[in-house]
Structure 1
Amino acid sequence: MKFRYHFQKVVDLKSNEKTQAEWMLSTAIGKLQTEEEHLLQLLNDKKELIDVIQSATESTASVSSLQEMQRYVHHLDECISRKSSDVRHAEVNVQRNQTFLNGKMMDEKVWLGARDKAKIKFQQEMLLREQNDLDEMATVRFAAKAGRAN
């Protein structure tokens, strides 16, 4: 007789939920990395522009071009501020998905543990049945031999 767990569909469901939570976390981490890379690019662009402005002030650059570059620096500051906010939101989303995944992993672990306990109990019962069958066969043989001896 083969072991069949009555709640196997629940175990499968919990496993699927954990897999979905892993995908959600993976997606959230990917989004966070993208936001961080974009923020880093904005910071690099700002640094390069400031270097250009500093070298332009040492040369004979026009006031209007310096003002234009300064407006662009201000624009980059606003973009950096918004992107920093996006990064924080992405970090919160990663944390939320990590917590969700941890919960799903615990659910799955509980159900797998219950299934394992049920399997061990089933195996013990099967061993006991086999032992009882062997004991019964030995008793029948003994009784048959004892009957022939008389």
Structure 2
Amino acid sequence: MKFHYTFQKVVDLKGNEKTQAEWMLSSAIGELQTQEKDMVELMEQRNGTLVALQDAAERRTPMAAILEMQDYVDYLDNCIARKQTEISRAHEEVTMKQENLNSKALDEKVWLKARDKALGIFKQNMNLREQNELDEMATVRFAMKSL
């Protein structure tokens, strides 16, 4: 006789939900990494522009060009501030997805434990049934020999 768990579809569903939560967390982490990479690029652009601005000031560059470079630095500062907000949101999203994954993993673990417990009970009943059959066979043999 084969073990059949009546709630196996629930166990499978919980496993699928956990897998989906893992994918969502992976996606959120990828988005966070992209945001952080963009931030590094913005910071590099800003630093490069500041160096160019210093060089321009030393080389007697026209004031219009210096003001244009300064406006670009201000623009990059605004972009960096927005990017920091996006990174903060991405961190929150990763945290939320991690909590969701932990919840799904715990839920799956509970159902797997219930299935394992049912399997243990099934095996115990099978062993008991087998032992009863062996006892009955021994009783029949003893009865046959005593005749």
For normalisation by structure 1, the TM-score amounts to: 0.97
Alignment of 1:19-58 (within 5 A): 19-58=19-58
Q: Find the aligned partners of 1:65 and 1:58 in 2 and give their Cα distance.
A: 13
Over the matched positions of the two proteins, sequence identity in percent amounts to: 55
Show the counterpart of 1:120.
Answer: 120
Q: Find the aligned partners of 1:61 and 1:119 in 2 and give their Cα distance.
A: 82
Q: Find the aligned partners of 1:121 and 1:36 in 2 and give their Cα distance.
A: 52
Alignment of 1:49-68 (within 5 A): 49-68=49-68
Runs of 4+ in structure 1 deviating by more than 4 angstroms, as ranges, are: none
Q: Find the aligned partners of 1:40 and 1:118 in 2 and give their Cα distance.
A: 54
Could you list the per-position Cα deviations for residues 105-135 of structure 1 after superposition, in whole angstroms to 9, with x for gaps in the alignment? Answer: 0000000000001001100110110010000
Show the counterpart of 2:93.
Answer: 93
Structure 2 residues not aligned, in runs of 5+:
none
- Give the partner amino acid of 1:54: Q
Could you list the per-position Cα deviations for residues 58-95 of structure 1 after superposition, in whole angstroms to 9, with x for gaps in the alignment? Answer: 11111000000000000000000001000000000000
Question: How many residue pairs end up in the alignment?
Answer: 147
Q: Find the aligned partners of 2:9 and 2:28 in 1 and give their Cα distance.
A: 28
- Give the partner amino acid of 1:57: A
Q: CA RMSD in A?
A: 0.4
Q: Find the aligned partners of 1:106 and 1:36 in 2 and give their Cα distance.
A: 31
Q: Find the aligned partners of 1:125 and 1:116 in 2 and give their Cα distance.
A: 14
